[in-house]
Amino acid sequence: MKLSSTPTLRRFARVAAVAAFVLAISAPAMSQALTSVSAGQACTKAQLNRKSGTLTCTYNAKTKKYTWTAAAAAKGASTSRAGWPSKLVIAAVPSENVATMTLRYQNFVKVIEKETGLPTTFISATDYAGVIEAQVAGRADVVFYGPFSYVLAKARGAKIDAVGASVPTSTVASGYYLSYLVTKKGSGINSIKDVKGKNLCFVDAASTSGFLYPTAGLLENGIQATDYRSVLAGGHDKSVLAVQAGTCDAGFVYDDMFDKLLVDRGLIKTSDFNVVWKSGEIPNSPIAVRKDLPADLFALVKKTILEKINKTAFVSMGLCANETNCNVIEDATWGFKPTSDAVYDAIRQVCEATKSSRCR
């Protein structure tokens, strides 16, 4: 078989030579691009916490960018970050509408994101059960509960630890709050015993001050569930506003919501209402963290909550101009102090006393 002509062979040889030259000079560069990165170079969300030589893919909460960072400069370089999730989710049981709560939690989210180096989001649900289920299922990492909803979450299998309880000032080690029963002036309801035959607003079946303690108070005063018409308002603010609108004849609410928050927002005047019942002292609300998070991440989140999620720290970080007008969470809270699960045995005792089916 006869081969191609000489000119054709020459052209082929020239093409082959050029191709070989191009491959020779590009191969090292291609290899370098595929196998090495430099500090400051962009990485991706999928690469978060992965290593390349001495560099780690980290997330900058301020710039919202993922970059390769030298180990010495990487946030949390003293920890291995092994097994860390790609993000953190903070949640809270509903006390107000979602938009208001999201706004109040924005600094909380910023600080957790900055300290952990993980993208962090805040979520809320329309009811307490949704938030409880989110943490039971591992979809929420940090949750601010009411005492009763915390007890329910534990009872339903949430692998959580109460790491802190909300406190009103930096000078107290612990605290408490109250449940109120409020009515409009002129309603004819002057005590909790006068609610028979009335429309009575509760907050949520998993609310401490909006259901459990009110139920105990009613029973203590000889009022059975069949003596009134129960309405679940869906939030502490909604309970009071339903009373104001006449939908409910009386409603339960926690003290700060009635005394301060709704007043500050211009939604009510306390002079239009009567407080006809107050509960006993309720242990302050806990914040719980998933204990099946990696131990180093759990410790970092706990430390951050106790040391940096408070008004004083927010002011020092430039997140608030002053402590007076600084929101840490959705109520008049300075920050958090250490607590333990045993503190909430008082809630379990109320459950035992009321024999409420809601405690299961």
Dist CA 348 CA 59 (whole Å): 41
Considering the domain architecture, whether residues 211 and 260 belong to the same structural domain is answered as: yes
Residue 345 tokens, joined = 């045995």
Same domain, 189 and 256: yes
Last residue of a domain, one of 282, 302, 322: 282
- 291 shares a domain with 169: yes
Count of the separate structural domains present in the chain: 3
pLDDT at 159: 97
Kindly state the tokens that stand for 201: 């607003």
Q: Are residues 150 and 60 in the same domain?
A: no
Residue 169 and residue 113 share a domain: yes
Classify residue 261: in a domain, yes or no: yes
- The pLDDT, as a whole number, for residue 269 is 98
* Coarse DSSP helix, strand, coil percentages of the chain, rounded to the nearest 5 percent: 40, 20, 40
Instruction: Quote the distance between the C-alpha of residue 353 and its chain's center.
Output: 31
**CATH label of the domain that carries residue 327:** 3.40.190.10
What's the CA gap between 297 and 207, in Å, rounded? 29
Q: Are residues 153 and 300 in the same domain?
A: yes
Phi/psi for 259 (5° steps) reads: -70, -30
Judgement on whether residues 170 and 292 belong to the same structural domain of the protein: yes
What does the pLDDT read at residue 235? 94
Tell me the residue range of the domain where 220 lies: 177-282
Please indicate, yes or no, if residue 1 is contained in any of the structural domains: no
- In the chain, % of residues over pLDDT 70: 86
What confidence score (pLDDT) does residue 331 get?
59
Predicted confidence (pLDDT) per residue in 242-280, tens digit: 999 999 999 999 999 999 999 999 999 999 999 999 999
Last residue of a domain, one of 253, 282, 311: 282
| Residue 32 within any structural domain of the chain | no
Instruction: Check whether residue 260 and residue 319 sit in a common domain.
Output: no
Task: For residue range 122-132, list pLDDT tens digits in order.
Answer: 998 889 999 99
Tokens, residue 265: 């927002």
pLDDT for residue 161: 97
Cβ atoms of 195 and 228 closer than 8 Å? yes
Please indicate, yes or no, if residue 21 is contained in any of the structural domains.
no
C-alpha 140, offset from chain centre: 8
* Residue 97: predicted pLDDT: 83
Are residues 156 and 186 located together in one domain of the fold?
no
pLDDT at position 357 is 83
Both tokens assigned to 344: 């909430």
DSSP output for 272-302? GEEEEEE---EEPPEEEEETTS-HHHHHHHH
> At which residue do the structure tokens 């607003």 appear?
201
What is the Cα–Cα distance from 88 to 154, expressed in whole angstroms? Answer: 20
**Does residue 159 sit in the same domain as residue 303?**
yes
- Has residue 259 been placed in a domain? yes
Residue pointed to by tokens 């979520």: 123
278 and 290 together in one domain: no
CA separation (Å) from 218 to 44, 192, 221, 226, 227? 56, 7, 5, 11, 10
Both 194 and 250 in one domain: the answer is yes
pTM of this prediction exceeds 0.75: no
CA distance 287 to 275: 29
- For each successive 10 residues of the chain (360 residues), what is the average pLDDT? 45 46 40 60 86 81 80 51 94 88 94 96 91 96 96 96 92 83 97 97 96 96 96 96 98 95 95 97 95 97 98 95 88 88 94 85
Q: Exposed/middle/buried for 100, CB within 10 Å: 0-12, 13-18, 19+?
A: middle
Measure Cα distances from 127 to 102, 123, 238 in Å. 15, 12, 12
